[in-house]
Structure 1
Amino acid sequence: MMSRNSNSRGGFSLVELIVVIVIAGLVATAIFQILVSNQRIYTAQGESVRGQQTVRGAVEFLATELREISPRGGDILTMESDEIEVRAMRASALVCGRDGSDIFATALAGRIRPGDEVLVYFQEDPDTGNSDFWTTAEVTSESGSEQPQRCGDDPTRRYTLDNFADDSPTAIVDSGSLIRTWETVTYGLITQGGESFVGRIDSDGEEALIGPVEARRGLEFAYLDRNGDVTTDALEVRSIRITVRTLSQARDSGGRAIADSLSVLVTPRN
Protein backbone atom coordinates (compact mmCIF):
# COMPACT_ATOMS: atom_id res chain seq x y z
CA MET A 1 0.00 0.00 0.00
CA MET A 2 1.48 3.26 -1.03
CA SER A 3 1.02 6.48 1.05
CA ARG A 4 0.89 9.96 -0.54
CA ASN A 5 2.49 12.90 1.29
CA SER A 6 0.70 16.23 0.92
CA ASN A 7 2.82 19.39 1.07
CA SER A 8 1.17 22.30 2.96
CA ARG A 9 2.57 25.82 2.61
CA GLY A 10 2.35 28.44 5.39
CA GLY A 11 1.68 32.22 4.81
CA PHE A 12 -1.08 34.62 3.83
CA SER A 13 -3.38 34.42 0.94
CA LEU A 14 -3.83 37.35 -1.43
CA VAL A 15 -7.17 38.18 0.13
CA GLU A 16 -5.63 38.31 3.60
CA LEU A 17 -2.85 40.61 2.39
CA ILE A 18 -5.38 42.96 0.84
CA VAL A 19 -7.36 43.06 4.08
CA VAL A 20 -4.22 43.86 6.10
CA ILE A 21 -3.23 46.64 3.69
CA VAL A 22 -6.70 48.17 3.82
CA ILE A 23 -6.77 48.10 7.63
CA ALA A 24 -3.29 49.62 7.83
CA GLY A 25 -4.36 52.36 5.44
CA LEU A 26 -7.42 53.14 7.53
CA VAL A 27 -5.35 53.31 10.70
CA ALA A 28 -2.75 55.56 9.05
CA THR A 29 -5.49 57.84 7.72
CA ALA A 30 -7.09 58.08 11.16
CA ILE A 31 -3.74 58.91 12.78
CA PHE A 32 -3.04 61.56 10.13
CA GLN A 33 -6.46 63.13 10.65
CA ILE A 34 -5.88 63.23 14.41
CA LEU A 35 -2.51 64.90 13.91
CA VAL A 36 -3.98 67.46 11.51
CA SER A 37 -6.87 68.13 13.89
CA ASN A 38 -4.49 68.57 16.83
CA GLN A 39 -2.32 70.90 14.77
CA ARG A 40 -5.35 73.02 13.93
CA ILE A 41 -6.37 73.13 17.58
CA TYR A 42 -2.86 74.14 18.67
CA THR A 43 -2.72 76.80 15.94
CA ALA A 44 -6.14 78.15 16.87
CA GLN A 45 -5.23 78.26 20.56
CA GLY A 46 -1.93 79.96 19.79
CA GLU A 47 -3.61 82.57 17.60
CA SER A 48 -6.27 83.15 20.24
CA VAL A 49 -3.63 83.74 22.93
CA ARG A 50 -1.65 86.06 20.65
CA GLY A 51 -4.82 87.98 19.85
CA GLN A 52 -5.64 88.42 23.52
CA GLN A 53 -2.11 89.57 24.28
CA THR A 54 -2.21 92.02 21.37
CA VAL A 55 -5.48 93.72 22.33
CA ARG A 56 -4.51 93.88 26.01
CA GLY A 57 -1.08 95.29 25.26
CA ALA A 58 -2.39 97.89 22.82
CA VAL A 59 -5.22 99.03 25.09
CA GLU A 60 -2.98 99.26 28.16
CA PHE A 61 -0.33 101.24 26.27
CA LEU A 62 -2.79 103.72 24.78
CA ALA A 63 -4.66 104.09 28.06
CA THR A 64 -1.42 104.94 29.87
CA GLU A 65 -0.49 107.57 27.28
CA LEU A 66 -3.93 109.19 27.00
CA ARG A 67 -4.57 109.21 30.74
CA GLU A 68 -1.81 111.82 31.09
CA ILE A 69 -3.20 114.34 28.60
CA SER A 70 -5.39 117.32 29.48
CA PRO A 71 -8.18 117.93 26.94
CA ARG A 72 -9.16 121.19 28.67
CA GLY A 73 -5.51 122.24 28.53
CA GLY A 74 -5.42 121.79 24.76
CA ASP A 75 -3.46 118.53 24.68
CA ILE A 76 -5.73 117.01 22.02
CA LEU A 77 -4.54 118.55 18.75
CA THR A 78 -6.59 116.49 16.30
CA MET A 79 -9.00 113.63 16.88
CA GLU A 80 -10.39 111.13 14.38
CA SER A 81 -12.18 107.81 14.75
CA ASP A 82 -9.00 105.88 13.90
CA GLU A 83 -6.23 108.17 15.18
CA ILE A 84 -5.50 110.91 17.69
CA GLU A 85 -2.77 113.56 17.78
CA VAL A 86 -1.83 114.76 21.26
CA ARG A 87 0.81 116.51 23.31
CA ALA A 88 2.23 113.54 25.20
CA MET A 89 3.87 114.25 28.55
CA ARG A 90 7.52 113.28 28.78
CA ALA A 91 8.89 115.04 31.89
CA SER A 92 7.25 116.86 34.77
CA ALA A 93 8.07 118.69 37.98
CA LEU A 94 6.08 120.01 40.92
CA VAL A 95 6.56 123.65 41.85
CA CYS A 96 7.27 124.16 45.55
CA GLY A 97 8.39 127.79 45.63
CA ARG A 98 9.32 130.83 43.55
CA ASP A 99 11.70 133.76 43.52
CA GLY A 100 10.82 136.44 41.00
CA SER A 101 11.04 134.90 37.54
CA ASP A 102 12.58 131.73 38.94
CA ILE A 103 10.71 128.75 40.32
CA PHE A 104 11.85 125.92 42.54
CA ALA A 105 10.57 122.47 41.66
CA THR A 106 11.17 118.82 42.36
CA ALA A 107 11.15 116.32 39.50
CA LEU A 108 8.24 113.92 39.18
CA ALA A 109 9.24 112.18 35.95
CA GLY A 110 12.13 112.64 33.55
CA ARG A 111 14.24 115.80 33.48
CA ILE A 112 13.37 119.29 32.31
CA ARG A 113 16.29 121.00 30.57
CA PRO A 114 17.11 124.51 29.30
CA GLY A 115 15.55 125.09 25.90
CA ASP A 116 12.57 122.85 26.64
CA GLU A 117 9.16 124.23 25.85
CA VAL A 118 6.93 123.46 28.80
CA LEU A 119 3.31 123.63 29.82
CA VAL A 120 2.76 125.52 33.05
CA TYR A 121 -0.30 125.17 35.26
CA PHE A 122 -1.47 128.51 36.60
CA GLN A 123 -3.67 129.09 39.62
CA GLU A 124 -5.15 132.58 39.40
CA ASP A 125 -7.57 132.00 42.26
CA PRO A 126 -6.72 129.25 44.80
CA ASP A 127 -10.34 129.21 45.98
CA THR A 128 -11.83 128.20 42.63
CA GLY A 129 -10.82 125.90 39.81
CA ASN A 130 -12.67 127.87 37.14
CA SER A 131 -9.80 130.30 36.58
CA ASP A 132 -6.98 127.74 36.44
CA PHE A 133 -5.41 127.11 33.05
CA TRP A 134 -2.35 125.81 31.20
CA THR A 135 -0.03 127.95 29.12
CA THR A 136 3.28 127.42 27.37
CA ALA A 137 6.64 128.85 28.37
CA GLU A 138 10.32 128.23 27.73
CA VAL A 139 12.94 127.07 30.23
CA THR A 140 15.87 129.43 29.76
CA SER A 141 18.07 128.12 32.58
CA GLU A 142 18.29 125.29 35.07
CA SER A 143 20.47 124.83 38.12
CA GLY A 144 20.63 123.07 41.42
CA SER A 145 19.25 124.81 44.48
CA GLU A 146 20.31 124.69 48.09
CA GLN A 147 16.99 126.16 49.15
CA PRO A 148 14.42 123.43 49.75
CA GLN A 149 11.58 125.94 49.35
CA ARG A 150 9.04 123.56 50.86
CA CYS A 151 10.13 120.67 48.65
CA GLY A 152 10.86 118.66 51.76
CA ASP A 153 13.76 116.27 51.42
CA ASP A 154 13.34 115.91 47.64
CA PRO A 155 16.10 117.22 45.35
CA THR A 156 15.23 120.73 44.20
CA ARG A 157 15.99 122.36 40.84
CA ARG A 158 15.83 126.07 40.04
CA TYR A 159 14.30 126.99 36.68
CA THR A 160 13.97 130.32 34.92
CA LEU A 161 10.85 130.55 32.76
CA ASP A 162 10.37 133.03 29.94
CA ASN A 163 8.41 133.60 26.72
CA PHE A 164 5.00 132.85 28.17
CA ALA A 165 2.40 132.35 25.44
CA ASP A 166 -0.23 134.34 27.34
CA ASP A 167 2.14 136.94 28.85
CA SER A 168 0.95 135.64 32.19
CA PRO A 169 2.69 136.95 35.31
CA THR A 170 5.12 134.50 36.84
CA ALA A 171 3.83 135.44 40.29
CA ILE A 172 0.82 133.14 39.87
CA VAL A 173 3.03 130.09 39.29
CA ASP A 174 2.61 129.08 42.90
CA SER A 175 3.43 126.07 45.05
CA GLY A 176 1.53 123.04 43.86
CA SER A 177 1.60 124.08 40.20
CA LEU A 178 2.81 121.56 37.64
CA ILE A 179 5.24 122.11 34.79
CA ARG A 180 5.79 119.50 32.12
CA THR A 181 7.46 118.93 28.78
CA TRP A 182 5.76 117.21 25.90
CA GLU A 183 6.17 115.97 22.36
CA THR A 184 3.58 115.91 19.60
CA VAL A 185 2.57 112.31 18.95
CA THR A 186 -0.02 110.68 16.72
CA TYR A 187 -1.42 107.26 17.63
CA GLY A 188 -3.12 105.27 14.88
CA LEU A 189 -2.79 102.36 12.46
CA ILE A 190 0.49 101.80 10.63
CA THR A 191 0.96 99.36 7.75
CA GLN A 192 4.16 97.34 7.81
CA GLY A 193 4.93 94.26 5.73
CA GLY A 194 1.37 94.17 4.44
CA GLU A 195 -0.11 94.03 7.96
CA SER A 196 -1.64 96.68 10.22
CA PHE A 197 -0.22 97.60 13.60
CA VAL A 198 -1.08 100.03 16.37
CA GLY A 199 1.65 102.59 15.91
CA ARG A 200 3.06 105.96 16.87
CA ILE A 201 4.19 108.87 14.70
CA ASP A 202 6.46 111.51 16.25
CA SER A 203 9.42 113.66 15.28
CA ASP A 204 11.54 110.54 14.76
CA GLY A 205 9.11 109.05 12.23
CA GLU A 206 6.57 106.25 12.49
CA GLU A 207 6.95 103.15 14.63
CA ALA A 208 4.83 100.01 14.74
CA LEU A 209 4.23 99.19 18.40
CA ILE A 210 1.77 96.32 18.81
CA GLY A 211 0.03 93.98 16.39
CA PRO A 212 -0.91 92.85 13.90
CA VAL A 213 -4.51 94.04 14.21
CA GLU A 214 -7.51 94.09 11.91
CA ALA A 215 -6.76 96.16 8.82
CA ARG A 216 -9.83 98.40 8.66
CA ARG A 217 -11.22 98.44 12.19
CA GLY A 218 -8.18 97.46 14.20
CA LEU A 219 -8.16 100.69 16.22
CA GLU A 220 -11.07 102.97 17.03
CA PHE A 221 -11.47 106.01 19.28
CA ALA A 222 -14.72 107.49 20.58
CA TYR A 223 -14.62 110.87 22.31
CA LEU A 224 -17.23 111.49 25.00
CA ASP A 225 -18.27 114.62 26.87
CA ARG A 226 -19.25 114.90 30.54
CA ASN A 227 -22.68 113.42 29.76
CA GLY A 228 -21.22 110.41 27.99
CA ASP A 229 -22.28 111.65 24.56
CA VAL A 230 -19.99 111.66 21.54
CA THR A 231 -18.38 115.06 20.97
CA THR A 232 -16.25 116.59 18.23
CA ASP A 233 -14.99 119.42 20.45
CA ALA A 234 -11.56 118.54 21.82
CA LEU A 235 -11.97 120.90 24.77
CA GLU A 236 -15.17 119.11 25.83
CA VAL A 237 -13.67 115.61 25.89
CA ARG A 238 -13.92 114.05 29.33
CA SER A 239 -13.33 110.39 28.43
CA ILE A 240 -12.04 108.39 25.47
CA ARG A 241 -13.19 104.89 24.55
CA ILE A 242 -10.40 102.85 22.95
CA THR A 243 -11.25 99.70 20.98
CA VAL A 244 -8.65 97.32 19.52
CA ARG A 245 -9.52 94.37 17.25
CA THR A 246 -7.44 91.52 15.89
CA LEU A 247 -8.25 89.14 13.02
CA SER A 248 -6.13 86.06 12.24
CA GLN A 249 -5.84 84.01 9.07
CA ALA A 250 -6.19 80.88 11.21
CA ARG A 251 -9.60 79.24 11.58
CA ASP A 252 -11.35 77.66 14.52
CA SER A 253 -13.14 74.29 14.47
CA GLY A 254 -16.19 75.95 12.94
CA GLY A 255 -14.20 77.44 10.08
CA ARG A 256 -14.46 80.99 11.43
CA ALA A 257 -11.51 83.37 11.42
CA ILE A 258 -10.06 83.75 14.92
CA ALA A 259 -10.72 87.28 16.17
CA ASP A 260 -10.57 89.16 19.45
CA SER A 261 -11.42 92.66 20.63
CA LEU A 262 -11.18 94.76 23.77
CA SER A 263 -12.56 98.17 24.72
CA VAL A 264 -11.62 100.41 27.64
CA LEU A 265 -12.83 103.81 28.77
CA VAL A 266 -10.02 106.22 29.67
CA THR A 267 -10.54 109.34 31.75
CA PRO A 268 -7.77 111.89 31.06
CA ARG A 269 -6.77 114.34 33.74
CA ASN A 270 -8.36 117.78 33.79
Structure 2
Amino acid sequence: MRRSRRGFSLLELVVVLALLGVVGATIASLLLRQQRFYRSASELLYAREGVRDALEVLAADIRGITVADTVRLLADSAIEMFSAIGSSVVCNRTSDTEFGLPRSSASGNTLTSLLTEPDSGDLALFYRDSATSGANWERHRITGFSARATPAACPAFQLTLATTLSSDVRTGAPVRFIRRGRYSLYRAADDEWYLGYRRCNALGPTVCGSIQPLSGPYRGYSTNREATGLLFEYFDAHGERLITAPSPLELARVDVTARAESRHRILIEQTAIAPGDSATVSVAIRNRAP
Protein backbone atom coordinates (compact mmCIF):
# COMPACT_ATOMS: atom_id res chain seq x y z
CA MET A 1 0.00 0.00 0.00
CA ARG A 2 1.44 3.35 -1.07
CA ARG A 3 1.73 6.10 1.60
CA SER A 4 0.26 9.51 0.56
CA ARG A 5 2.72 12.41 0.43
CA ARG A 6 2.06 15.70 2.25
CA GLY A 7 2.36 19.01 0.34
CA PHE A 8 0.84 20.90 -2.54
CA SER A 9 0.43 19.86 -6.05
CA LEU A 10 1.71 21.99 -8.90
CA LEU A 11 -1.83 23.02 -9.79
CA GLU A 12 -2.52 24.18 -6.24
CA LEU A 13 0.68 26.25 -6.17
CA VAL A 14 -0.26 27.92 -9.45
CA VAL A 15 -3.71 28.81 -8.11
CA VAL A 16 -2.28 30.21 -4.86
CA LEU A 17 0.31 32.31 -6.66
CA ALA A 18 -2.35 33.65 -9.01
CA LEU A 19 -4.56 34.65 -6.07
CA LEU A 20 -1.64 36.28 -4.30
CA GLY A 21 -0.87 38.23 -7.45
CA VAL A 22 -4.46 39.46 -7.74
CA VAL A 23 -4.55 40.49 -4.06
CA GLY A 24 -1.15 42.20 -4.28
CA ALA A 25 -2.13 44.10 -7.40
CA THR A 26 -5.36 45.25 -5.73
CA ILE A 27 -3.50 46.47 -2.63
CA ALA A 28 -0.89 48.26 -4.76
CA SER A 29 -3.63 49.94 -6.78
CA LEU A 30 -5.37 51.14 -3.61
CA LEU A 31 -2.11 52.47 -2.17
CA LEU A 32 -1.34 54.27 -5.42
CA ARG A 33 -4.81 55.87 -5.44
CA GLN A 34 -4.38 56.96 -1.84
CA GLN A 35 -0.99 58.45 -2.65
CA ARG A 36 -2.47 60.38 -5.54
CA PHE A 37 -5.34 61.59 -3.36
CA TYR A 38 -3.04 62.86 -0.59
CA ARG A 39 -0.75 64.49 -3.11
CA SER A 40 -3.64 66.28 -4.82
CA ALA A 41 -5.02 67.38 -1.44
CA SER A 42 -1.59 68.66 -0.43
CA GLU A 43 -1.19 70.61 -3.67
CA LEU A 44 -4.65 72.13 -3.29
CA LEU A 45 -3.90 73.21 0.28
CA TYR A 46 -0.61 74.69 -0.92
CA ALA A 47 -2.46 76.76 -3.51
CA ARG A 48 -5.04 77.93 -0.97
CA GLU A 49 -2.30 78.95 1.47
CA GLY A 50 -0.71 81.05 -1.26
CA VAL A 51 -3.98 82.85 -1.94
CA ARG A 52 -4.64 83.45 1.75
CA ASP A 53 -1.10 84.72 2.40
CA ALA A 54 -1.29 87.24 -0.44
CA LEU A 55 -4.68 88.63 0.58
CA GLU A 56 -3.78 88.91 4.27
CA VAL A 57 -0.53 90.80 3.60
CA LEU A 58 -2.04 93.17 1.05
CA ALA A 59 -5.26 93.85 2.96
CA ALA A 60 -3.39 94.82 6.13
CA ASP A 61 -1.19 97.38 4.36
CA ILE A 62 -3.81 98.77 1.96
CA ARG A 63 -6.34 99.34 4.75
CA GLY A 64 -4.03 101.77 6.57
CA ILE A 65 -2.88 103.92 3.65
CA THR A 66 -3.69 107.62 3.35
CA VAL A 67 -4.82 108.45 -0.16
CA ALA A 68 -3.63 112.05 0.05
CA ASP A 69 0.08 111.34 0.46
CA THR A 70 1.03 107.68 0.86
CA VAL A 71 -0.10 106.12 -2.44
CA ARG A 72 2.48 106.31 -5.23
CA LEU A 73 1.42 103.78 -7.88
CA LEU A 74 -1.92 102.19 -8.77
CA ALA A 75 -1.65 99.51 -11.48
CA ASP A 76 -3.53 96.34 -12.34
CA SER A 77 -0.73 94.08 -11.05
CA ALA A 78 1.15 96.40 -8.68
CA ILE A 79 0.62 98.96 -5.95
CA GLU A 80 3.23 101.25 -4.39
CA MET A 81 2.58 102.93 -1.07
CA PHE A 82 3.89 103.83 2.36
CA SER A 83 3.16 101.15 4.97
CA ALA A 84 3.24 101.53 8.75
CA ILE A 85 6.12 99.68 10.40
CA GLY A 86 5.78 101.00 13.94
CA SER A 87 4.62 103.65 16.36
CA SER A 88 5.83 105.30 19.54
CA VAL A 89 5.73 108.55 21.53
CA VAL A 90 8.31 111.28 22.13
CA CYS A 91 9.66 110.91 25.66
CA ASN A 92 12.39 113.57 25.49
CA ARG A 93 14.05 116.02 23.09
CA THR A 94 17.85 116.03 23.03
CA SER A 95 17.95 118.64 20.25
CA ASP A 96 15.82 119.88 17.36
CA THR A 97 16.75 116.78 15.36
CA GLU A 98 17.33 114.15 18.07
CA PHE A 99 14.68 112.53 20.23
CA GLY A 100 14.29 109.74 22.72
CA LEU A 101 11.64 107.04 22.53
CA PRO A 102 10.51 104.77 25.39
CA ARG A 103 11.05 101.02 25.47
CA SER A 104 8.38 98.66 24.19
CA SER A 105 6.86 98.14 27.64
CA ALA A 106 7.12 100.88 30.22
CA SER A 107 4.99 101.23 33.35
CA GLY A 108 2.78 98.40 32.16
CA ASN A 109 1.94 100.17 28.87
CA THR A 110 3.04 99.38 25.33
CA LEU A 111 4.47 102.73 24.26
CA THR A 112 6.71 101.57 21.39
CA SER A 113 5.62 98.95 18.88
CA LEU A 114 7.89 98.09 15.94
CA LEU A 115 7.39 95.49 13.23
CA THR A 116 10.99 96.19 12.23
CA GLU A 117 13.42 98.87 13.30
CA PRO A 118 13.25 102.04 11.17
CA ASP A 119 16.39 103.11 9.32
CA SER A 120 17.65 105.89 7.08
CA GLY A 121 15.29 104.90 4.26
CA ASP A 122 12.13 105.48 6.29
CA LEU A 123 10.00 108.44 7.39
CA ALA A 124 8.80 109.51 10.83
CA LEU A 125 5.45 111.26 11.25
CA PHE A 126 5.03 113.41 14.36
CA TYR A 127 1.64 114.55 15.59
CA ARG A 128 1.67 118.33 15.90
CA ASP A 129 -1.06 120.26 17.67
CA SER A 130 -0.66 123.97 16.98
CA ALA A 131 -2.98 126.78 18.00
CA THR A 132 -2.32 128.57 14.70
CA SER A 133 -2.22 125.77 12.09
CA GLY A 134 -4.30 123.16 13.90
CA ALA A 135 -3.54 119.48 14.35
CA ASN A 136 -1.67 117.56 11.65
CA TRP A 137 1.19 115.15 11.06
CA GLU A 138 4.68 116.52 10.42
CA ARG A 139 6.87 114.37 8.17
CA HIS A 140 10.65 113.97 8.44
CA ARG A 141 13.23 111.63 6.93
CA ILE A 142 15.11 109.45 9.41
CA THR A 143 18.91 109.56 9.38
CA GLY A 144 19.53 107.39 12.42
CA PHE A 145 17.75 104.98 14.75
CA SER A 146 19.52 103.06 17.50
CA ALA A 147 18.77 101.19 20.70
CA ARG A 148 20.66 102.06 23.87
CA ALA A 149 22.96 99.40 25.30
CA THR A 150 21.31 99.69 28.74
CA PRO A 151 17.80 100.91 27.93
CA ALA A 152 16.06 102.87 30.62
CA ALA A 153 12.37 103.66 30.60
CA CYS A 154 13.28 106.74 28.56
CA PRO A 155 15.05 106.91 26.27
CA ALA A 156 15.36 103.30 25.15
CA PHE A 157 15.76 104.32 21.49
CA GLN A 158 17.48 107.33 19.94
CA LEU A 159 15.91 108.83 16.81
CA THR A 160 17.75 111.30 14.56
CA LEU A 161 16.07 113.33 11.80
CA ALA A 162 17.42 114.98 8.66
CA THR A 163 15.52 118.24 9.28
CA THR A 164 14.50 120.32 12.28
CA LEU A 165 11.32 119.33 14.05
CA SER A 166 8.71 121.97 14.84
CA SER A 167 8.55 123.29 18.38
CA ASP A 168 4.84 122.40 18.40
CA VAL A 169 5.80 118.72 18.74
CA ARG A 170 6.10 118.22 22.47
CA THR A 171 6.95 115.40 24.83
CA GLY A 172 4.24 112.76 24.67
CA ALA A 173 3.42 113.40 21.01
CA PRO A 174 2.63 110.26 18.99
CA VAL A 175 5.12 109.14 16.33
CA ARG A 176 4.46 106.84 13.38
CA PHE A 177 7.08 105.18 11.20
CA ILE A 178 6.32 104.42 7.56
CA ARG A 179 8.27 102.68 4.77
CA ARG A 180 7.80 103.00 1.03
CA GLY A 181 7.46 99.76 -0.89
CA ARG A 182 5.90 98.17 -3.96
CA TYR A 183 3.90 94.95 -4.14
CA SER A 184 3.70 93.37 -7.58
CA LEU A 185 3.22 90.18 -9.53
CA TYR A 186 6.50 89.14 -11.15
CA ARG A 187 8.12 86.24 -12.97
CA ALA A 188 11.04 84.66 -11.12
CA ALA A 189 14.08 82.81 -12.45
CA ASP A 190 12.25 79.47 -12.18
CA ASP A 191 9.68 80.80 -14.69
CA GLU A 192 6.95 80.88 -12.02
CA TRP A 193 4.95 83.96 -11.01
CA TYR A 194 5.05 85.25 -7.42
CA LEU A 195 3.83 88.12 -5.28
CA GLY A 196 6.97 90.17 -4.65
CA TYR A 197 7.94 93.17 -2.57
CA ARG A 198 10.45 95.90 -3.39
CA ARG A 199 11.60 98.47 -0.88
CA CYS A 200 11.75 101.95 -2.42
CA ASN A 201 13.36 105.27 -1.55
CA ALA A 202 11.38 107.42 0.85
CA LEU A 203 11.42 110.70 -1.10
CA GLY A 204 11.78 111.79 -4.70
CA PRO A 205 11.28 109.75 -7.90
CA THR A 206 10.74 106.06 -7.35
CA VAL A 207 13.92 104.01 -7.07
CA CYS A 208 13.32 100.49 -5.77
CA GLY A 209 15.65 97.71 -4.71
CA SER A 210 15.68 94.08 -5.77
CA ILE A 211 12.40 92.21 -5.51
CA GLN A 212 11.83 89.58 -2.83
CA PRO A 213 9.18 86.83 -3.15
CA LEU A 214 6.45 86.77 -0.52
CA SER A 215 4.11 84.00 -1.68
CA GLY A 216 3.17 81.96 -4.72
CA PRO A 217 3.32 80.65 -7.31
CA TYR A 218 0.35 82.26 -9.04
CA ARG A 219 -1.00 82.27 -12.53
CA GLY A 220 0.96 84.38 -14.97
CA TYR A 221 0.17 88.02 -15.70
CA SER A 222 -2.53 88.65 -18.27
CA THR A 223 -4.46 91.67 -19.48
CA ASN A 224 -7.55 89.50 -19.09
CA ARG A 225 -9.04 90.37 -15.71
CA GLU A 226 -10.55 86.88 -15.41
CA ALA A 227 -7.26 85.04 -15.94
CA THR A 228 -4.38 87.06 -14.47
CA GLY A 229 -2.66 85.76 -11.35
CA LEU A 230 -2.90 88.95 -9.25
CA LEU A 231 -5.36 91.74 -9.94
CA PHE A 232 -5.80 95.13 -8.27
CA GLU A 233 -9.06 96.97 -9.00
CA TYR A 234 -9.75 100.49 -7.74
CA PHE A 235 -13.10 102.09 -6.93
CA ASP A 236 -14.29 105.52 -5.84
CA ALA A 237 -16.75 106.36 -3.08
CA HIS A 238 -19.70 105.69 -5.42
CA GLY A 239 -18.52 102.19 -6.29
CA GLU A 240 -17.42 103.17 -9.80
CA ARG A 241 -14.30 101.46 -11.13
CA LEU A 242 -11.29 103.73 -11.66
CA ILE A 243 -9.77 102.53 -14.92
CA THR A 244 -7.30 104.86 -16.61
CA ALA A 245 -4.45 106.21 -14.42
CA PRO A 246 -6.62 106.55 -11.30
CA SER A 247 -5.91 109.43 -8.95
CA PRO A 248 -5.20 108.41 -5.33
CA LEU A 249 -7.52 111.18 -4.13
CA GLU A 250 -10.48 109.40 -5.75
CA LEU A 251 -9.63 106.06 -4.16
CA ALA A 252 -12.12 104.62 -1.68
CA ARG A 253 -11.83 100.85 -2.12
CA VAL A 254 -9.35 98.34 -3.50
CA ASP A 255 -10.36 94.85 -4.63
CA VAL A 256 -7.54 92.32 -4.70
CA THR A 257 -7.91 89.00 -6.52
CA ALA A 258 -5.30 86.26 -6.25
CA ARG A 259 -5.28 83.12 -8.39
CA ALA A 260 -2.78 80.53 -7.24
CA GLU A 261 -1.64 77.51 -9.18
CA SER A 262 0.39 74.55 -7.94
CA ARG A 263 3.87 74.07 -9.33
CA HIS A 264 3.21 70.30 -9.67
CA ARG A 265 0.66 68.63 -11.91
CA ILE A 266 -1.40 65.66 -10.76
CA LEU A 267 -3.13 62.96 -12.79
CA ILE A 268 -6.91 62.80 -12.43
CA GLU A 269 -8.83 60.43 -14.72
CA GLN A 270 -5.81 60.24 -17.03
CA THR A 271 -5.69 64.04 -17.31
CA ALA A 272 -2.80 66.09 -15.90
CA ILE A 273 -4.02 69.21 -14.12
CA ALA A 274 -2.43 71.83 -11.87
CA PRO A 275 -4.48 72.31 -8.68
CA GLY A 276 -5.37 75.93 -8.02
CA ASP A 277 -7.54 78.27 -6.03
CA SER A 278 -8.68 81.89 -6.17
CA ALA A 279 -10.21 84.47 -3.87
CA THR A 280 -11.06 88.16 -3.80
CA VAL A 281 -11.00 90.60 -0.90
CA SER A 282 -12.42 94.14 -0.85
CA VAL A 283 -10.47 96.60 1.28
CA ALA A 284 -12.01 99.92 2.28
CA ILE A 285 -9.54 102.78 2.76
CA ARG A 286 -9.70 104.15 6.30
CA ASN A 287 -7.84 107.44 5.89
CA ARG A 288 -9.54 109.15 2.98
CA ALA A 289 -9.47 112.73 4.25
CA PRO A 290 -6.66 114.85 2.74
The one-letter amino acid paired with 1:243 is T
Contact 2:198 2:212 in 1 (8 A): yes
Q: Following the alignment from structure 1 to structure 2, what is the Cα–Cα distance between the partners of residues 23 and 160?
A: 82
1:201 match: 198
2:109 match: none
2:254 match: 240
Please, which moves more after superposition, 51-60 or 244-253?
Answer: 244-253
**TM superposition shift of 1:43:** 0.4
Q: 1:121 to 1:264 in 2, by over 3 A?
A: farther
- When the two structures are superposed, what TM-score results if normalisation uses the length of structure 1? 0.68
Contact 1:65 1:88 in 2 (8 A): yes
Which of 46, 49, 73 lines up with 1:78 in the alignment? 73
Contact 2:118 2:177 in 1 (8 A): yes
Q: 1:133 to 1:218 in 2, by over 3 A?
A: farther
Contact 1:87 1:185 in 2 (8 A): yes
Q: Following the alignment from structure 2 to structure 1, what is the Cα–Cα distance between the partners of residues 160 and 9?
A: 102
Which of 192, 208, 218 lines up with 1:213 in the alignment? 218
Q: Following the alignment from structure 1 to structure 2, what is the Cα–Cα distance between the partners of residues 11 and 156?
A: 88
Please, which moves more after superposition, 154-163 or 78-87?
Answer: 154-163
1:223 match: 234
User: Secondary structure of the equivalent of 2:241?
Assistant: coil
Q: Following the alignment from structure 1 to structure 2, what is the Cα–Cα distance between the partners of residues 141 and 31?
A: 67
Q: Following the alignment from structure 1 to structure 2, what is the Cα–Cα distance between the partners of residues 132 and 227?
A: 29
Q: How does 1:14-33 map to 2 (within 5 A)?
A: 14=11, 16-33=12-29
Contact 2:54 2:258 in 1 (8 A): yes
2:202 match: none
Q: Following the alignment from structure 1 to structure 2, what is the Cα–Cα distance between the partners of residues 32 and 83?
A: 48
2:83 match: 88
Q: Following the alignment from structure 1 to structure 2, what is the Cα–Cα distance between the partners of residues 250 and 224?
A: 37
User: Secondary structure of the equivalent of 2:211?
Assistant: strand
The total of aligned residue pairs comes to 247
Q: Following the alignment from structure 1 to structure 2, what is the Cα–Cα distance between the partners of residues 7 and 96?
A: 108
User: Secondary structure of the equivalent of 1:205?
Assistant: coil
The one-letter amino acid paired with 1:51 is A
Q: 1:226 to 1:189 in 2, by over 3 A?
A: same
Structure 2: tracts of 5 or more residues without a match: 102-111, 147-152, 200-207, 222-227
Q: How does 1:86-235 map to 2 (within 5 A)?
A: 86-94=81-89, 107-109=112-114, 118=123, 120=125, 136-138=139-141, 170=166, 179-182=176-179, 184-192=180-188, 193-202=190-199, 203-216=208-221, 217-231=228-242, 232-235=246-249
Q: Following the alignment from structure 2 to structure 1, what is the Cα–Cα distance between the partners of residues 209 and 27?
A: 54
Q: Following the alignment from structure 2 to structure 1, what is the Cα–Cα distance between the partners of residues 46 and 212?
A: 20
Q: Following the alignment from structure 1 to structure 2, what is the Cα–Cα distance between the partners of residues 142 and 31?
A: 65
User: Secondary structure of the equivalent of 1:186?
Assistant: strand
- Which string of whole-angstrom CA distances, capped at 9 and with x for unpartnered residues, describes residues 82-141 of structure 1? 11111233344456999x96798865546667x666364777999xxxx97766434689
Contact 1:225 1:236 in 2 (8 A): yes
**TM superposition shift of 1:39:** 0.4
* Percent of matched pairs sharing the same residue: 26
1:50 match: 46
Contact 1:59 1:244 in 2 (8 A): yes
Structure 1: tracts of 5 or more residues without a match: 144-152
Instruction: Report which of the two structures shows the higher radius of gyration computed on alpha carbons.
Output: 1
Please, which moves more after superposition, 235-244 or 251-260?
Answer: 251-260
Q: Following the alignment from structure 2 to structure 1, what is the Cα–Cα distance between the partners of residues 78 and 229?
A: 11
